[in-house]
Amino acid sequence: MLRYLLQRGASSLFALLIITVIVFSLSQLSGSPVDALLPDDATQEQIDIFIREWGLDQPLWKQYLTFLGNAVQGDFGVSLKWPGESAMGFVLDRMPATLRLGGLAILITLIIALPLGIAAAVYKGSAIDRIAQGFALLGQSMPNFWLGIVLIWIFSVWLGWLPTSGIGSFAHLILPAIAIAWFQISALARLTRSAMLEVLDAEYIKLARVKGVSEWAVVFKHALRNAAVVPLTYFGILAASILTGSVVIESVYSYPGMGWVAIEAIRGRDFPVVQAVIIAYAVIYMLSNLLVDLLYVIVNPRIKHG
């Protein structure tokens, strides 16, 4: 089991390395930093000094290694848009806000989607199943920024129950969390339903009933244990895409999290911050996938032997 986890960890690190290469190349593609950093009327001499100071005269691979070396220490340089802030420091500063929002969205998703998907499978064809299907269709066909605006219109403008935007109290989290969770609930409920349906048809479910096992244990012990792999796999993608995908919703609600920072940094061509955000997102992705790998082992003990 340890070997399995080490393997997963190593391949995650490798993926992270590839991402740094991509991030580095992207910044090369977007033009010389000379244009971005120096004023238009800089003299040739100033430019030469700048190039030497920043190591821009070095071969690309050497520049990359320098970048990587600094990145490993969390140093992505200073922000251009927010003077005086270190790029990664600025991103990390905004991270808790995003984790809070994403965490709530994940919680809402799990609490609604899993029971809904299981119930829809167990009571296939019943009213609950049809409601779940309708909900899934609605959820997956509504873009989340649109839903976000509609929610603001109903609950903030019309009913006046919740704040329209910003950050501060728990109330500020509710609308954006729902807007993020909505789509994910549909996706996860559908996946859970189909995985459960497939498993509930299996012969070993029949055998469990033949043994005299109660229907509750048949569903939650025998079926769920086997069906869980599918929603669990999706959960890795879900957690990561909720945490990183809040970019749009954070903009809609002017919620100053990492997503908002990303948008602002891109708008301001603030490369150090953009790079820091991308790497931070990548690390979140890896960690949530590693967590899923760990959960796999718990749900499905056979992996231990593999």
Partner 1 sequence: MNTSQTDALLDVRNLKVEVTTKAGSFFPVNDHSFSVKSGETLGIVGESGSGKSMTAMSLMRLLPKHAAKIRGGSVKLDGRELLTLSEKEMRKVRGADISMILQDPQTSLNPAFTVGDQIKEALKLHAPGGRKTLRERTIDALRRVKVAAPEHRVNSYPGEMSGGMRQRVVGAIAISCRPKVIIADEPTTSLDVTVQAQYLRLLKELQDETGMAILFITHDFGIVANLCHRVIVMYAGRIVESGPVAKIFAKPAHPYTEALISAVPSLHGQKERLTTIPGQPPAPTDIVVGCPFAPRCQYADARCHSEAPPTVAADQSGDHTTSCWRAVEA
- Which residues contribute to the site for partner 1 (CB under 8 A)? 125, 202-204, 206-214, 222, 225-226, 299-302, 305
The least CB distance from residue 288 to partner 1, in Å, is 23
The residue type found at 121 is A
The least CB distance from residue 236 to partner 1, in Å, is 20
Shorter beta-carbon distance to partner 1: residue 168 or 212: 212
Distance, in Å, from the CA atom of 18 to the CA atom of 12, rounded to the nearest integer, reads 10
| CA torsion through residues 149, 155, 156, 158, sign | positive
The least CB distance from residue 231 to partner 1, in Å, is 15
Q: Find out whether 107 and 101 touch, Cβ atoms under 8 Å.
A: no
| Residue 96 CB coordination number (10 Å) | 12
Shorter beta-carbon distance to partner 1: residue 66 or 300: 300
Distance, in Å, from the CA atom of 229 to the CA atom of 74, rounded to the nearest integer, reads 35
The least CB distance from residue 217 to partner 1, in Å, is 8
**The Cα angle at residue 243 between residues 304 and 281, in degrees rounded to 5:** 80
DSSP string, 197-244: HHHHTSHHHHHHHHTT--HHHIIIIIIHHHHTHHHHHHHHHHHHHHHH
**Residue 130, SS3 per DSSP:** helix
The least CB distance from residue 200 to partner 1, in Å, is 11
